[in-house]
Amino acid sequence: MMRGALPRFRVFHMRIRDLLQPKAVDLNPSVKNKEQAINRLVDLISQTGCICDRERFRQAVFDRESKGSTGLGDGVAIPHAKSAGVAYPGLAAMVVKDGIDFDSLDGGKAYLFFIIASPHKASDAHLDVLARLSSMLIEKEFRESLIKASDAQEFLSLIDRAEGQERSEEAQEKESAPKPGHYDLVAVTACPAGLSHTYMAAEALELKAKEMGLAIKVEADGAAGNRNELLPEDIAQAKAVVVAADRTVRMDRFIGKPLIRVGVNDAIRKPEELISKALSPDCQPYSLISGSETVSLPMTLYRHLMSGLTYIMPLVAAAGILSACAALPFMQGTKVSFFFDTIGYSIGIMLFPVLSAFIAFSIGGRTALVAGFTGGIMADLSSAGVLGAVVNGLAGGAVAYLTTLFARRFLKGHDAMFALLVYPVVGTLGVTLIAEFVTNLPMAFLDSHINAFISSAGVLPRAILGGLLGMMMSADMGGPLNKISYACGVLLLADSMPEPGAGNQVMASVMAGGMAPPVSAGLAALTVRPLFSLREKKLALTAVSKGLLFVTEGVMPYMLIAPRGARVACFMGSGLAGALSMAAGCGVCAPHGGILIVPLSSQFFDYLAALGAGTLLGAVLFVIGRLGTRIPQSSAPQA
């Protein structure tokens, strides 16, 4: 079977055998589940001498696994980690003839295992080796031959033989490779770690493209950097682009090209479908504003809002914490209190302009910054609040975008000078007129009534509002409802700055709703241990600590067994915590931090009581949801 070329990120100075020793290969291990498999692989690789701190590396591997399974499907699993416990790069391999459940992407068993040990400063040479190994494992015949190997020497010989074939094919393919700028399709692959997934996705796309008779160039943006960079002429001549990435990659170079964007695992599992979609006449050209997707107007506006929210969160945290510290009783009347209060106030009054500026930036790029900044100032001067800042930011982005279109069409050759002189003036005047005569008055009306309702409402309406926001935080774990709830908390908190107000109370209920689920799950796993798997019990303290720090995703490992009961536990616990917090008028001063900022809460003990009640209810419901549930053998508790 001929293989696709990876012309720039394959370097053959180091062999796979340089990292994989015979004593690090076990073809008959006594392992029954995922935890045992990882432990055996760590012990194997430790025998090679590349590990200087075995337990530190072992913990790093389990930590990586908790973020997402390294079971790649097709019977292959490649656990890996970078760790200070690794002295130099190494490999170990293992074959489990009957297979085990490894939470693989395709839901099947894993038979063939490799573990990768990388020091924090990994060399390019060993990453090339790992990329080559990942590429070779794409072929079914090669995987099956490794699984059937009778001893370690045969196992290594098969790898040597396949690697030798890679070399000869590489030389042949270099001669017949398309010239730069003559590819049917270009692609980018990137995973968070930049190791095996990046290169397996690249190889899968290349193999499938070759089978389909297409010329393709894949940029593998891995841990060693960009090893096969797409040149401008490659992109210009290509018919379409595939971006398979789980992290940020440079997208502006693809403007105007038909493009689809997916996760890196999609390229590994369904490369033919991605290639067909990219080359389809229905594939839309990419632009900075709309991306490659056809999305609704509300979703587009929501994305621009979240862009602005990202930039003001550190400012909200700094202003809130400094102002809260200045208000502490023992700080009153001191120079430190005056300094904190002055800095907190100064940062707080900048929140609206910064929010508007970066909403506008999300729409129109750098040329929209001045227009957006002006919109925030207008909202502040007119008491239009955070709603005015948001709407004026959208208006500023629209004004700048339309001005840019005009300049590109009618002022070719002069648009650079236009950007320096005219964009700021046109944007400022345009947004000022829109804010003064269209947006500020209705937004000021809405903003004042929202704050008045929250501040003056009775206990029951406040409890309902807090409970609703808390339940939204755990309704879809990072989905739209979760993000909307959190966005409401951050925006209203910014609206209250620099003085405490209704927004502090809303943010407190949102934070309580996000903290309760992982603390509940961890507490239940610590107290009623027989109902939880070995992995869940190991992660219990981690879940509690993540929850206390307002990292709601700490509950995710507990959602796999009895998911319906787990969802009810999260939903009810979050709702109770949010409702009690809001009913008691508790407030927090920052949009993140969890237990670290709770001591600065205006009702410290009431807030702890609300969080404790929600956590206790969630823990009880977690236990009830597990009663009568069979714990999977692959993760069953060990005596």
Instruction: Enumerate the active-site residues.
Output: 191
Q: How far apart are CA 435 and CA 443, in angstroms?
A: 10
For residues 356 and 579, what is the distance between their CA atoms, to the nearest angstrom?
31
CB 543 within 8 A of CB 518: yes
Q: Which residues are registered as beta bridge partners of 81? A: 117
Give the closest residue to 479 by CA, choosing from 552, 387, 582: 552
b (16+ CB within 10 A) / e for 191-209:
bebbbbbbbbbbbbbbbbb
Task: Give which of 320, 332, 356 is closest to 504, Cα–Cα.
Answer: 320
| Residue with the two structure tokens 């969080």 | 611
Provide the 10 A C-beta neighbour count for residue 603: 16
CA dist 338 and 451 (Å) reads 27
Cα(391)–Cα(564) distance, integer angstroms = 39
Q: Which CA distances in Å does 301 have to 84, 290, 304, 510?
A: 43, 11, 5, 22
For residue 244, the surrounding DSSP H or E stretch is: strand 240-245
Q: State how far the Cα of 377 lies from the Cα of 456, in Å rounded to an integer.
A: 28
Smallest Cα–Cα separation from 381: which of 313, 455, 450, 439?
Answer: 439
Copy the structure tokens of residue 283.
């594939």
SS3 311: helix
What span, in angstroms and rounded, lies between the C-alpha atoms of 181 and 178?
8
